[in-house]
Amino acid sequence: MAILVTGGLGYIGSHTVVELLNNNYEVVIVDDLSNSEKFILKNIEEITGKKPVFYPFDLKRKELLAQVFDAHPIDGCINFAASKAVGESQLKPVDYYENNLFSLINILQEFKQRGISNFIFSSSCTVYGQADQMPIDENTPLKMPESVYGKTKQMGEEILTDFAKAYHRKVSLLRYFNPIGAHPSAKIGELPIGIPNNLVPYVMQTAAGVREKLSIWGDDYPTEDGTAVRDYIYVVDLAKAHVAALKKLMEDESNVATIDIFNLGTGKGSSVLEVVKAFETANDVKVPYQICDRREGDITIAFANVDKAKEELQWKSDTSLEEALKTVWEWQKYLKNRNT
């Protein structure tokens, strides 16, 4: 049996494909390369010694998707494919709803018609908005997300919940906190396409001299050092959680709807300044920065309660912030060599 991994050449998808191959799953990737590059496939093969099947097309093309299901005995899907830039989603709402929701619905149509279960969805801590209490557990009430991107994640969760209930299928909604880092081989990582929106890729490029200075968005938050706090989770740990979540779904042979929801984080909050300092210490480099006004739409603090994933998936993230940030620097060096 094979697992369909959509967006499998993207940042989190590529790390998950490596873990799936290492656990002897057959992997079929669909990725339209809208936010990834073909060399990632070659590098996945170098890391694992295995060759996943790869189809380069847009999941909105239903007829091509049907052919993939005809050609392979698909037994489950991990659906990473989505557009993910929060700011861009505000400017291009229709495109974001179209890409993130039509892709999802097209896969679910195939699942429905062919009687396939086992669907894992990349959700996000953004569905909680600014939660009233820390840490955030899975029962924390969801708030209307500020961004169109966040709304596509909340809608995706609702669509999948209805799908599972109506057709008695098994779904897992994985709410990632802030993924960071790269593979220890430094052959796959987060591709810096354009100016990074996220903190760690921006820190990486500033340390490398690609950007002059990091702008820290606000030091007047009600936190210990005044900068905002997030839960930064190492991407390889996050990838392993997908394998654990998939195993759990596949081991469940009951014919009833299953809707698993898991927060995937470390359980520990770190401030922006702490991340900058940890990067400098881990890699013995300087990260010049300036303090700026707050970024619109940003929350003050978010970190996860990860007890549920520990108990039900026997999974936890044990990579420290500094260890994760070392892999970021190795990845930057790899990218630099590649481009010279």
Phi, psi of 246 (to 5 degrees): -65, -45
Task: Choose from ligand NAD, ligand WQD, none: what does 313 bind? Cβ within 5-8 Å by kind.
Answer: none
11 near ligand NAD, judged by CB under 6 A: yes
Report DSSP state, residue 127.
Answer: G
Position 156: which residue type? G
* Nearer to ligand WQD among residue 228 and residue 235 (C-beta): 228
| Smallest distance, ligand WQD to C-beta of residue 153, A | 6
Catalytic annotation present for 149: yes
| Smallest distance, ligand WQD to C-beta of residue 275, A | 7
User: Using CB under 6 A, which of 185, 198, 258, 320 touches ligand WQD?
Assistant: 198
SS3 57: coil
Task: Choose from ligand NAD, ligand WQD, none: what does 97 bind? Cβ within 5-8 Å by kind.
Answer: none
Cα–Cα dist 99/102, whole Å: 6
Q: Which residue has the tokens 């619109």?
A: 296
80 near ligand NAD, judged by CB under 6 A: yes
Q: 285-296: b or e for each residue (b if 16 or more CB lie within 10 Å)? A: bebebeeeeeee
The token duo for 207 is 């340390």
The one catalytic residue among 55, 149, 176, 234: 149
Those residues with Cβ within 8 angstroms of residue 254's Cβ, 6 or more apart along the chain or in another chain: none
The token duo for 253 is 């042979």
What x/- string results for residues 229 through 268 when contact with ligand WQD is judged by CB under 6 A?
Answer: -x--------------------------------------
Which residues are at the interface with ligand NAD (CB under 6 A)?
Answer: 6-7, 9-13, 30-36, 58-60, 80-84, 99, 103, 122, 124, 176, 178-179
